[in-house]
Amino acid sequence: MASPLSRRPARRLLAASLATALLGLAACGAGPDTTPATTGASPVEGGTVRVAILGGQTDTLDVTKASSFLVYGVALNIYDSLVLVVDGKPELQLAESITPDAGATRWTIKIRDGVTFHDGSPVTADDVLSSLKYLGTAPNYGSMFADVDFDQATSDGKLTVTLALSKPRADLIESVLSQISVVFPAGTTDFSKPIGSGPFKVESYSAGTGAVLVRNDDYWGGAPKLERLEFIPIADATARMSAITGDQVDYATGVTPTGIETIQEGSGIVVQDPGAAESSAFEFMMNQAKAPFDDPEVREAFRLAIDREALVNVVFRGKGTVGNDVVGQGMVGYDDALKQRERDVEKAKQIFAAKGVTTLDALASEMTPGITDAAKLMAQQLKEAGVEVTIHEADPTTLFNDLSVVRANDLFSFYAINRAFAAHATMFLTDGAPGNYFGSQDEELTTLITQAQAQTDEAKRSELLNKAQELVWSNGTDAVWGFQPVLAAHTENLTGVRMTMSVPLFAQAAYQQ
Amino acid sequence: MSRFRRAARTATAFAGWLLGWAAWTLAALVVVFLVLDLLPGDAASARLGQNATPEALAQLRAQYGLDRPVLVRLGEWLRGLASGDLGNTLLSSAPIGPMVATALGRTAVLAAVAAIGIAILGWGGAILSGIRAGSPLDRVLSSTALAAICTPEFVVATVAVVVFSSALGWLPAVSLLPAGGGVLDRPQILVLPALSIAIVGSGTLMRLVRPIVAREAASAHVEAARLAGLAPSRVLVRHLLPGALAPAAQASAMLVPYLIGGTVVVERAFAYPGLGSLLVQAVANREPGLLMACGGIVIAVTVFAYRLADLSQTDRS
């Protein structure tokens, strides 16, 4: 049901009680984290971390068939990825270099020498290519790898893979490979006890009771300090919170803002808040394909009319970052020079009045908790600007089966995983992009993105992408109002846990004494 | 000869009863299969979520075989059922049979413990109340039972966690199984879920059985036994309870469906990996085979319990 592309199940559970949120003040004992000051403390060798994570009884450890986060949590700790996004930036892991040719249609991936799988066999380019093929042809990743022509891809059998693309993609690393590029032995089809080359090895897995991982003493990046990890499936966010406060686990992923408000001072539990880099972007999409949002001035008026801070305070209970109409905040390639748009109800009111806009229709479908609340609060805010918003609710499970339901509206309360702008633009903004639900057209933006995809000079590419972001900010169809981080809670003497794609990485984690 | 004939008649009746049970269960399964098909959304739309495009949906539906007519799929499922093959999940292609069997085993343990709790609390309360109908004790117990019935299981579960786990620290708040282990390796995890089910369930049972005990307590033969000067315990065991037994057993059988429903809710709240949790997951992922297997067990047990209740009624009259 979910790839890292769609964090639906977790997000749904992540803020299960937000629906009743009234006035959110960011009042809370457990501040935006993270690890306590560890003066005088030193990391100790060994120890077990019990991890509460969204999981279920139907899971197998095959990432192409994952329906929950447990599978990714295990995968990203037992496999090496070619590259991973950590703290918003791509970080090479198994790959030593990933380089394009001048036209960005041919990429060369060189992997580290001397890396071995858990069974002792060497990791070769054949394993890399075979893994990428397996991932790239699976339904949940197929669209992401659509521009990779696997028939033309080659491996030298040692350390080098060459990928041929059907069109230039200078953004291959951030848009494709850093989304998923785990490597397992060529020809693996049985994932009941998978083998990787990562910092931990699978000792056992049983759906329902979870996975036990043990340290890989031969890890090329240095053996982890932690001896053992237990990934325990817990579907309910409240239960995950109870498990950590009751000392049944040491680390709980995907906890809710209301959940962390129950953490008591001195309980020894701290909150890990990764900020916008590991978050979901919440926005109102405007329908540019019909009046009144075909008029850029009316779009401007809408963006001035909404109160982003109030939305973040109420819908996220203050646990989030205010948005500025461009997705990708906190990620590589974000244009920090963009001025934060402030609310200006008077100006919005004038424009709406001058354009004769008095009513709007908005679609809200609870794909994740908070979508409907956001729409309702937005309707109140728009009333102050003299516009009456009617909210239409739709069933999220079937929403995308029939886009005419979406297109009948002027506004769409929506969320997407926060990705680097280049990746988000190709998925949601350009003409014909799969997530361009309203069929909005912007020739200038599409051209800029296409040019950026063909530009391998980093400085020039970043200039093109900044131009595109300015365009989206001033003239685009999205009112991005906030970023909701993926929150985790853990015992305070556990440090060094990093987060990627909403799951924790334990290679560098350790208990402090 | 006559003994043989009687045995044969009993066997025939039993076979007929079983056949009726199987027929009703099968009919219910077919209806459920058809109704599920009418619901919006399927495994393909659940898996693709916001990445759904018409082409991707069509491709995945074809891969899952969901593009075939519903009657064809029903027929295939029934054939599989007849040969004991429940198939695989669509998303993770894991075999459904063992998955459901493991979950059912865990649920059965929980339900059994809860049933004991329900029986003790429900019957005990009913007898204490019923033998002195209208007394202050009766009124207190009856209103307590009513309050218990009206409280949703998850509220009871939350209160139980706050009291026994957060405040007293006696029991785990979440029913986690040891990795790769079974329920009996960590029996303490059963206490709070079973208690939550028992509190609500026993309220219902108590309200059902109490009037039966009260009616029996007011009957002429019990009155006569009491007037004869027999000890109250003897009156209860020898004269009152035998008359109440059959209708009370019937009322207890009616509680089996509740026991299953309550387990579903409570399993989720305590993250207990049983049939209820699996059913919720099957719904979320729109897994037809898994849903039918989990639902089929619930239906089979429910129909069994109701027919058992009917049977005891027929015997009595």
pLDDT at A38 (0 to 100): 47
Please give the pLDDT value at position B208.
Answer: 86
Closest Cβ–Cβ partner in B51, B172, B174 for A143: B51
- Looking at residue B62, its pLDDT comes to 87
**pLDDT at residue A468, as a whole number:** 96
pLDDT score at A302: 96
Together in a domain, B174 and B36: no
**What are A237-284's pLDDT values in tens digits?**
888 998 998 889 999 998 888 888 888 888 899 999 988 989 999 999
Q: Does B179 contact A211 at a Cβ distance shorter than 8 Å? A: yes
The answer on B75 and B135 residing in a single domain is no
Q: What mean pLDDT comes out for the span A337-342? A: 94
Is residue A215 scored above 90 in pLDDT?
yes
- A313-326 residue pLDDT tens: 999 999 999 999 99
Same domain for B127 and B223, yes or no, is: yes
CB A12 within 8 A of CB A67: no
SS (H, E, C) B252-313: HHCHHHHHHHHHHHHHHHCCCCCHHHHHHHHHHHCCHHHHHHHHHHHHHHHHHHHHHHHHHH
Contact yes or no for A271/A488 (Cβ under 8 A)? yes
Give the separation between CA A407 and CA A411, rounded to whole angstroms.
9
Select the residue of A140, A242, A367 nearest B173 (Cβ to Cβ): A242
Selecting from B47, B63, B178 the residue whose C-beta is nearest the C-beta of A140 gives B47
B23, B54, B83 - which closes a domain = B83
Ramachandran region of residue B46, left (φ > 0), alpha (ψ -120 to 50) or beta?
alpha
Task: For residue A59, give every residue at least 6 positions away whose Cβ sits within 8 Å of its Cβ, in sequence order, or none.
Answer: A66, A67, A68, A70, A71, A207, A233, B92
Contact (CB, 8 A) for A248 and A237: no
Task: Dump pLDDT digits (tens) for A73-121.
Answer: 999 999 999 999 888 889 999 999 999 999 899 999 999 999 999 999 9
DSSP-derived secondary structure letter, A389: E
Coil/strand/helix, residue A304? helix
Does the structure show a pLDDT above 50 at A341? yes
Please write the tens of the pLDDT for every residue from A425-473: 988 999 888 888 888 888 999 999 999 999 999 899 999 999 999 999 9
State residue B182's pLDDT score: 81
Average pLDDT over residues A483-493: 94
Question: So what's the ipTM on this one?
Answer: 0.79
Q: Which domain holds residue B54?
A: 2-83
Same domain, B105 and B243: yes
**Residue at B298 is within a domain:** no
Do B161 and B39 sit in the same domain of this protein? no
User: Domain check: are B36 and B150 in the same one?
Assistant: no
**DSSP structure string for A428-466:** IISTT-TT-TT----HHHHHHHHHHHH---HHHHHHHHH
Give yes or no for a contact between A489 and A252, defined as CB atoms under 8 angstroms apart: yes
Which residue's structure tokens are 């897994």?
A: B287
Claim to verify: residue B203 and residue B263 sit in the same structural domain = yes
Hey, which residues 352-381 in chain A have their CB within 8 Å of chain B? 367
Q: Just give the CATH number of A278-485.
A: 3.10.105.10
- Domain identity same for B104 and B215: yes
Please indicate if any CB of chain A lies within 8 Å of the CB of B100. no
- Blockwise average pLDDT, block size 10, chain B, 317 residues: 76 86 89 84 78 79 87 89 86 86 91 91 87 84 86 84 85 85 85 91 87 82 81 78 79 81 84 87 85 88 80 54
- Separation of alpha carbons A247 and B171, rounded Å: 11
pLDDT for residue A40? 58
> Are residues B248 and B129 both part of a single domain?
yes
User: Residue range A199-207: average pLDDT?
Assistant: 93
Q: In this complex, is the C-beta atom of A213 within 8 Å of any C-beta atom belonging to chain B?
A: no
Each domain of chain A, given as residue ranges in start order, spans: 5-193+487-512, 278-485
In terms of Cα–Cα distance, which of A451, A458, A431, A460 is closest to A443?
A431
B305 belongs to a structural domain? no
pLDDT for the residue B312: 60
**What average pLDDT does the segment A217-221 reach?**
94
Q: Report the pLDDT value the prediction gives residue B14, as an integer from 0 to 100.
A: 83
Residue A337, pLDDT > 50, answer yes
Determine, yes or no, domain membership for B220.
Answer: yes
Averaged pLDDT for residues A216-220: 95
Confidence bin at A28 (pLDDT 50/70/90): very low
Which amino acid makes up residue B98?
P
pLDDT at B87: 86
pLDDT at A234 exceeding the cut of 50: yes
Write the pLDDT tens digit of every residue in A167-186. 999 999 988 999 899 999 99
Nearest to B307 by CA among B13, B5, B101: B13
In a domain, B92, yes or no: no
What local confidence, expressed as pLDDT, does residue A12 receive?
37
**pTM of the entire predicted model:** 0.83
Question: Which one of B110, B174, B183, B280 would you mutate to disrupt binding with A, by most A Cβ within 10 Å of its Cβ?
Answer: B174
Q: How confident is the model at residue A39 (pLDDT cuts 50, 70, 90)?
A: low
What's the DSSP call for residue B88?
Answer: B
Closest-CA distance of chain B to residue A363, Å:
15
CA distance B98 to B106: 13
Judge whether residue A156 has pLDDT over 90: yes
Q: Check residue A46 and give its pLDDT.
A: 92
Specify the number of domains making up chain B: 2
Residue pair A77/A253 in contact (Cβ under 8 Å)? The answer is no
Is the predicted pLDDT of residue A17 greater than 80, yes or no? Answer: no
Is the CB of A407 inside 8 Å of chain B's CB atoms?
no
pLDDT at A212 over 70: yes
In the prediction, which pLDDT does B177 show?
A: 86
Section A148-173 average pLDDT: 94
Taking alpha carbons only, the member of A43, A30, A76 closest to residue A507 is A76
Alpha carbon B188 to its chain centroid, in Å, reads 21
Whole-number average pLDDT of chain A: 88
The residue among A507, A503, A509, A508 whose CA lies nearest residue A180 is A503
Q: For residue A395, which residues of chain B lie inside 8 Å, CB to CB?
A: 40-41
Residue B292 belongs to some domain of the structure: no
What pLDDT does residue A115 have? 96
At residue B1, the pLDDT reads 53
Nearest residue of A to residue B61, measured between CA atoms: A139
Q: Does A181 touch chain B (CB under 8 A)?
A: no
Nearest to A236 among B59, B94, B269 (CB): B269
B64 with B107, same domain: the answer is no
Does residue A209 sit at the B interface (CB-CB below 8 Å)? yes
Q: At the topology level of CATH, where does A5-193+487-512 sit?
A: Dipeptide-binding Protein; domain 1 (3.90.76)
Question: In terms of pLDDT, which residue wins out, A383 or A404?
Answer: A383
The last residue of one of the domains, among B22, B49, B83, is: B83
Task: Give chain A's length.
Answer: 513
As a whole-number percent, the residues of chain A with pLDDT over 90 amount to 67
